[in-house]
Amino acid sequence: MLRWVRQQLGFDPPHQSDTRTIYIANRFPQHGHYVPQKFADNRIISSKYTVWNFVPKNLFEQFRRVANFYFLIIFLVQLMIDTPTSPITSGLPLFFVITVTAIKQGYEDWLRHKADNEVNGAPVYVVRSGGLVKTRSKNIRVGDIVRVAKDETFPVDLVLLSSDRVDGSCHVTTASLDGETNLKTHVAVPETAVLQSVANLDKLVAVIECQQPEADLYRFVGRITISQQMEEIVRPLGPESLLLRGARLKNTKEIFGVAVYTGMETKMALNYKSKSQKRSAVEKSMNSFLIIYLIILLFEAILSTILKYAWQAEEKWDEPWYNEKTEHERNSSKILRFISDFLAFLVLYNFIIPISLYVTVEMQKFLGSFFIGWDLDLYHEETNQRAQVNTSDLNEELGQVEYVFTDKTGTLTENEMQFRECSINGIKYQEVNGKLTPEGFSEDSPDGNRHSLMKEEELFLKAVCLCHTVQINADQTDGADGPWHANGIASPLEYYASSPDEKALVEAASRVGVVFTGTSGDTMEVKSLGKPERYKLLHVLEFDPNRRRMSVIVESPSGEKLLFTKGAESSILPRSKSGEIDKTRIHVDEFALKGLRTLCVAYRRFTPEEYQEIGKRLREARTALQQREERLADVFNFIERDLELLGATGVEDKLQEKIQETIEALRLAGIKVWVLTGDKHETAVSVSLSCGHFHRTMNILELVQHKSDSTCAEQLRQLAKRIKEDHVIQHGLVVDGTSLSLALREHEKLFMEVCKNCSAVLCCRMAPLQKAKVVRLLKTSPEKPITLAIGDGANDVSMIQEAHVGIGIMGKEGRQAVRNSDYAIARFKFLSKLLFVHGHFYYIRIATLVQYFFYKNVCFITPQFLYQFFCLFSQQTLYDSVYLTLYNICFTSLPVLIYSLFEQHVHPHVLQSKPVLYRDISKNAHLGFKPFLYWTILGFFHAFVFFYGSYLLMGEDTSLLRNGQILKPNRQMMFGNWTFGTLVFTVMVITVTMKMALETHFWTWINHFVTWGSIVFYFIFSLFYGGIIWPFLHTQDMYFVFVQLLSSGSAWFAIILIVVACLFLDVVKKVLYRHLQPTSTEKAQMYSNRVALSDEFIALQPLSRARNQLSKISLLRQVQVSTAWTPCAASQMGKQHAHLLEECWND
């Protein structure tokens, strides 16, 4: 319990040693002085809060907001001193805002806790007390022996002890960790590989020493000491022995492994970034604006306090007969009185800071987020998945994205490889109904309908079936007729491959008649049109990125020694001395132009003498203790020469639908796309070309395979020079993980300069934390661009959490990315609608909402400041306290809230079809200093017109009566300070509501209802409030004031005149700017407005065309009736609506 509390509070000490010692099955030494090491438990935590820290941590995050902190101070001031307004006016809204926000964020974090509990509570089997015990994942301890069955994910980081195979090997896929779907082979040490039963493992006495946890997925250093028959055997452990949490067991019935890293110390968890509160650029702008308004407030309060004491310097105004001071006030300190008066003015003017802004923004974000989930255009019918919003705090940030960082596998691609074409002996072939058909021949033609394979074709297919690392599902047997039907056609075998390309090629070969049926020891079996052939596997020359090829040396049934090799055309064609080299090169280029992934296939026959020499060289290189890698590379190059070219293959990594169109649209919108993948260099470049990330005309620059700072820096300088010289051409940059680490170490500035001058950047062989580092590097650059990261696997979680906006793809690699993202969509193509439509709308809505709130509060409180000049700065309020409380809550809140939910200043179809409109709102264009200054000056201008217009029109030729009322000559009307204040307030409510109406482009019945309804409600409320004596009110200042005001014709004239005077200049400004300097968005508005054709417009057209337009418009109006209430109606009728609009525009 104590340890758990210490972990919760973060007091657990860090690891004291560089290594950890793990006793398998927790058999600790019996001597007394041994002190066991402390390790983390196996719980995964992706949530941000706990029960213990929720209240303080959430309050701290909320009071970082300037308005919240400010109103807390005001509330405390109201509690401590006598102020013109009640503490409830500040405390109640503050409490409401804090509570609503805390509930919302608490609910979102509860969902994360729920997801964590599912993972931590998953059932697992561990070896304890001589048997298998079922327990929960969170209960696994370091040292426990864990059993994992086929297709299960590893619950901890394990060192492999044994599997169901004799050699102790197993196959895993790490798609959720590094994005690679290929199978990886892991092996146990020979001494433990034979322990395949629980009883034998329970007797194992062994100790593992290994490094402390680190994030690098591909690095593990350790050793295992096994005690057998009074002797100790020491074996080294490397990455091939480590099974990572999150990886999945494939093609192996079961394995046993010992837990070495648990919980948040597993490599998967170390590659997660801690969940931090993301704040949008709009919220940061709001805080900046609030600080400016706070300065204005302090200036007004200080000025009012100074003028009060300047005025009271005259004796007659210091203590007038109607406001005598108490004895305590006369004897109090002048400094204390000054501070008290300053604070009182501060409270009187505090409504210039709109706390209701945060309430409205929270409601707008929360309610507005539902529209993303409701949008049928973001619904994926095949998987029955709709868009998901995990946090609503970043809706407007979708409209500000400047960089998109995307994963490749499963995000841009479907993760499915398909064989498309091949070239054999200079002839192109396609697969047609399970047969290889030469190009230009159909299945019905004589040459296209063959039941046998030519010698060259058969040899090519055998090379494909033998030169690979493919495994067959262990459940499938190789009986005499196992994989074959009576008609000689292969039944499907389940293949697992170390490369998705290899799997696609072996599957294609099996369909056309040459079937790889598995391995047994060092024997590979192939069936060619039903005839089994056994090849002895002599040597495997593994793939490496320098050679860009792999090879196998086999012994054929006839005893011949053959080398089969396949790889990139750049590594095979120069080493080929015979075969149709020129024709194959042309075919490879044609395949590449179609976006296919290409491989060349070749072979070589060895004489007995040559093979003997090769075997000797290989043995010497593989047993060398010094420079083993270099010596092996030399031997491989010696072997893989004088090749005879057999042909080439073209495999398609199936892209997701509309990937090219989406990436091109992002580019048109001014968004740069970076692809960050853990995949190999060649694969990544191939997919980048096929998906349109790289263009064929683009100059591809490479920063790869650098091992030292000096060479990396030199290459960067050369790249920068090339870009400067060829500035007209578009450039694309390819960088791998190793070179990136070097570049970021000491040459960060130069690297960023190169990247920013490239149209597209591709980073390959990236570890998860490297992805996050790249995002952070760009995010923190001087320009501070808004970044978006999108991915589908656990390897993308760090990147998703680091970016300003994180989007998870609901793919085939688990739900980690979706769970840790801000938004989740089913396909990459939905990104365009999410950014160009939803992001655009959310940004415009909230930008107008924020500035409108400041505007209407300036309008609200400035007359209060001006009024002090007429009441000797006595801190008398201009408005009644009920009006003070209800102005932001009732009278002016709904029109702007409805605007912020439903406004569509441009039709959604136009926004999506014209991505360039996205540029108009980039870089926080609508919340910059100029728009803010315009709205602020407009607010002050309107406030002056409200106050002085009312004063001049209704306050002339009056005599001040002793009771504080003004009597107009020739009329028995009471015109006192409450009547004057009510007139100002009435004009203000109407003007700010009409101003919101002027800003609205998309009118629905709800907009009409709340806009005109707010004005009507104000009048009805004021009539009732002032027409009845309310017994629970201490004073009845407003009794009959509003009725008397409205009974005056001059008051109505003043109201109409002042409202028109305020809004006239605004209308003129809008008209002039729209026609003289229209933005592209305003042009699009005028363009789309033409669809709502007037009768006069149609009348000017030829009759037949007018009829056609009228029929479209009538249907259009029918659609509008059903979809007007939603901002992004994406139903089938909504699509019909958009098509009609497009037809009308085309006409």
Q: What are phi and psi of 8, to 5 degrees?
A: -60, -40
Give the Cα separation of 672 and 755 in Å (integer).
10
Using an 8 Å Cβ cutoff, are 483 and 476 in contact?
A: yes
Using an 8 Å Cβ cutoff, are 155 and 146 in contact?
A: yes
Give the Cα separation of 46 and 115 in Å (integer).
9
Other C-beta atoms closer than 10 Å to the C-beta of 492 total 10
H or E element at residue 775: helix 768-779
- Selecting among 377, 407, 653, 736, the annotated active-site residue is 407
Residue 1050 tokens, joined: 């001059």
Range 148-162 burial, b when 16+ CB lie within 10 A, else e:
bebeebbbbbbbbbb
DSSP for 256-319 reads EEEEEE-GGGSHHHHTSPPP-----HHHHHHHHHHHHHHHHHHHHHHHHHHHHHHHTTSHHHHS
Give the Cα separation of 534 and 525 in Å (integer).
5
* C-alpha to C-alpha distances, 767 to 218, 270, 286, 798, 808, nearest whole angstrom: 9, 11, 37, 10, 18
Q: How far is CA 706 from the centre of its chain?
A: 31
The residue count of the chain comes to: 1147
Range 1021-1043 burial, b when 16+ CB lie within 10 A, else e:
bbeebbeeeeeeeeeeebbebbe
Of 413, 412, 363, nearest to 392 (Cα)? Answer: 363
Give the Cα separation of 262 and 37 in Å (integer).
14
Using an 8 Å Cβ cutoff, are 647 and 424 in contact?
A: yes
* C-alpha to C-alpha distances, 64 to 57, 61, 103, 165, nearest whole angstrom: 11, 5, 17, 59
Name the packing angle between helices 281-311 and 334-349 (round to 10°): 130
Residue 859 tokens, joined: 């309008």
Q: Using CA of residue 1110, residue 1115, residue 1118, residue 1120, what is the dihedral sign?
A: negative
What does DSSP assign to residue 490? B
Other C-beta atoms closer than 10 Å to the C-beta of 8 total 13
Give the Cα separation of 1031 and 638 in Å (integer).
105
Of 485, 813, 428, 836, nearest to 661 (Cα)? Answer: 836
Torsion angle, alpha carbons of 703, 707, 713, 719, to 10: -20
Q: Is 59 exposed, middle or buried (0-12, 13-18, 19+ CB in 10 A)?
A: middle
Residue 1091 tokens, joined: 């669809």
Residue 79 tokens, joined: 């509690």
Q: How far is CA 479 from the centre of its chain?
A: 50
Give the Cα separation of 361 and 393 in Å (integer).
9
Name the packing angle between helices 281-311 and 929-954 (round to 10°): 40
Q: Is 522 annotated in the active site?
A: no
Residue 312 tokens, joined: 């009271």
Of 898, 887, 900, 879, nearest to 856 (Cα)? Answer: 887
Q: Which positions are catalytic?
A: 407
